[in-house]
Amino acid sequence: MRTSSKGQNPKEGAPREGLPETGVLSQVPRSGDEKIFRWLHSSRIPGKDRDRILKFSSSGLPVFLLGEEGTGKGEVAKALHFLGPWKNSPFLHFSCRGLAAQKFVEKLSLWGKDRHPGEKVSLALYLEDAENLDEDLQILLLDLLTDHQVQWPGLEELSFDAQVISSSSSSLAEAVTARKFREDLFRTLETLSIHLPPLRDRKEDIPRLAQEILQERHPEGQGAKAFSPEALQALQDYDWPGNLPELESLVLRSAALQDGNLLGCEDLVFSPSRGPMGEKTPSKGEKEPWFDVTIPTLAHEIKNPLVAISTFAHLLPEKYDDPEFRGEFSRLVNQDVRRINEVLENLLEFAQLSDPRSSLHDLNSTLAEALRQEEKEPGPAGKEVQTDLGNGLPLILFDKSHLGFVLRNLLENAFSRLNPQGPLYLSTRFSREEGRGGPKESVDLIVWYNIPEGVLRNFSKGVGFEAEIDFQKLNMALLLIRKIMVRNRGKIQVLQEEDGGMTIRLQFPPGKRSETPARENHA
C-alpha cells in the first residue's frame, strides 16, 4: 500500500443482624421519613401519582408499580412502606430475576426464627421485576397473601402479616396471556396500581426538575448555579432513555465541570453511551431504523455469495474436466466464503463490544496505525492512499476498542470497493458548525474513493450532505460503523455519487472545546 501525505397492626421490630445479601434489608431510620417526604414532594413524582402514593400507603393493600427503569419505582416502594402502618417493620427488597423459592423462604425463616406457633411475623416485601417470579414462588406468594401462611417445612405454624409491593417494567397481563404468570396472583398484586411515566412523557416537568436537582447540590447563596433558558430547552428536547438517574447524573456532572454559575447548552455533558444532545432516542418498544435494515442487509450480503457458489456448483459436474473452470470455481468459493466469514466476524465482534468508556485519542496517529495494519492484510498489492491530515487537531473523545472497530471496518469497506485505477483519499479536519443551542464542534475524517479524475482539486473542501442517509442502501460494515458512532456521540454521513463514487464523513466529538478552529492543510 502506497501512502502519500496530503397488614394494619404490625408488630414493631428492629432489623436482625447477620442477614445475607440476597433479600436486601432496607430498614430506614426515623430520620429517613423526612428525606422520603421531601423526595415525594419534589418534581420527581407527578402530582397525581403523589396523591395516590399518600392514599395507598395507609390502605394495607397490595400495590403494583408499573414503569420503565429509572422512573423511581424503588423510591415509591419505600415511600409506600415508610409512610404507612408497616413503617416499623422490616422492609425486604427482592429482585425476582433468578430468585428461587428456596432462597425466598430462607429469608422469611430468619424472621420467623424463635417465634411461637400462631405468633404473627410482620414484614414488608418489595418484589422488583415481579414478572420473573418462578411458578413455585408464585404459589408461595398467593398463600401468603390469601391465607397469611407459607406452606413450607418449618413455616406452616407461623402467621405472616405482610405488606406486598411489587413492580415491573412491563404489564403483568402480558405474562398472564403468555401463561407465564398466574392470573389469580396477578389480580391480587394489582389490587392497587400506579403507573410511573417516563421522562419523555413529562417534557413540561424537566426544566423544574433539573433546577431542583441543581439547587439540592448548590443551594441559593454563594456558589449557586442555574441553567440558561437555552440549556433548559435542550434538556426538554432530549428523550432521556435513562429517565431520572440519567437526568440527575447529567445535572451533577455538568455542574461539577462548569466553573461559572450559569450553565448553557455547551456546558451540558451528556453520557458518551447515549446519543448526541437533542438527538431523538427511540422509546422502549420503538425500533430504531437501524434494526429494520440489519436483517435484510445481512441476508443480502450472505445470499449473494451463496447464489454465486451454488450456480458454479451446478455447472461443476459437466465442466469438471475443464481446468480453467475448476480454477475459477476454486477462486470464487474461497473468495465468497471469506466474504461471508468477514461479515459474520464483524457482527460477532460488534456484539461483544461493551458500553463506551471514552478516553482521549489523536485521530491522525490512530488512523496512521490503522493504515499500517491494513497494509499487512492479504489482498491486491499497490493500493494507493493519499492523505491530507489537518495540523493541531483537538483530541477526540471515543472508546478505544470502538474506534479501532470503526477505522478498521471503514478501511476494509473502502479498499474492497475501491476502483483499481483510483486512489483512496483520506482527510482529517476540525469542523465548527452553527446549530440550535450554539456551535457544534467535531473532528472529521472524510473518505473519498472511485471519483473521476479532475473532480478532486482540493479534497479538504467542505462536503455538502443535503439528504439523510438512505440506510437501505448501506452495506453491513457502514451500518455497524453508524451504530458505533452514535453510541459514542459521533455521526456518520454518506454521499453516494451518481458516477459510483462514495464520500463518507465521520464526525468525532472533541475532547474539549477549542478556542479557535484548528488549522487545516490543503492538497
User: How far is the C-alpha of 385 from the C-alpha of 371, rounded, in Å?
Assistant: 9
pLDDT of residue 444: 94
Return the C-alpha cell found at 26: 432496607
Q: Which helix (H) or strand (E) holds 262?
A: strand 262-263
* Residue at grid coordinates 451533577: 252
Tell me if the pTM is above 0.85. Answer: no
pLDDT given for residue 455 in this prediction:
40
Distance of alpha carbon 189 from its chain centroid, rounded? 30
Kind and range of the H or E element at 195?
A: strand 192-195
Cα torsion for 53, 59, 63, 67, to the nearest 10°?
Answer: -10
The reported pLDDT for the residue numbered 523 is: 32
User: b/e map of 233-266 (b: 16 or more CB within 10 Å)?
Assistant: bbbbebbbbbbbebbbebbbebbeebeeeebbbb
Q: What is the pLDDT along the chain (523 residues), one digit of tens a residue?
A: 656 665 444 433 333 333 233 333 333 334 456 777 777 878 888 888 888 998 998 888 999 999 989 999 999 999 999 888 888 888 889 998 888 888 888 887 776 666 666 677 888 899 999 998 988 899 889 988 888 888 777 677 777 888 899 999 888 887 888 788 999 999 999 999 999 999 888 888 999 999 988 888 766 655 678 888 888 888 888 888 889 999 999 998 888 888 788 888 888 887 654 444 434 444 444 444 444 445 555 655 666 667 777 777 777 787 778 888 788 888 778 777 777 776 777 676 677 677 777 788 999 999 999 888 877 665 555 678 888 999 999 999 888 889 998 998 888 877 776 666 678 889 999 988 765 545 678 999 998 876 444 343 333 333 443 334 444 445 777 888 888 888 888 888 887 666 667 788 999 999 754 333 444 333 3
On whether the CB atoms of residues 161 and 168 are closer than 8 A, the answer is no
Strands (E) located in 22-144? 24-25, 63-66, 91-95, 120-128
Nearest to 469 by CA among 483, 459, 487: 483
Nearest to 168 by CA among 272, 64, 83: 64
Question: Which domains does the chain possess?
Answer: 24-195 (3.40.50.300), 199-267 (1.10.8.60), 289-352 (1.10.287), 358-508 (3.30.565.10)
What letters, b where the CB count within 10 A reaches 16 and e where it falls short, cover 140-168?
bbeebbeeeebebeebeebbbbbbbbbbb
Q: Which residues does residue 358 pair with via DSSP β-bridges, in sequence order?
A: 399
- Return d(Cα 194, Cα 429) in angstroms, integer: 52
pLDDT at residue 438, rounded to an integer? 52
Q: What is the pLDDT of residue 469?
A: 43
Q: What is the largest CA-CA distance in the chain?
A: 95
> CA 470 from chain center: how many Å?
24
Note whether 419 and 491 are within 8 A (CB): no
Question: Cell triple for residue 54?
Answer: 399518600
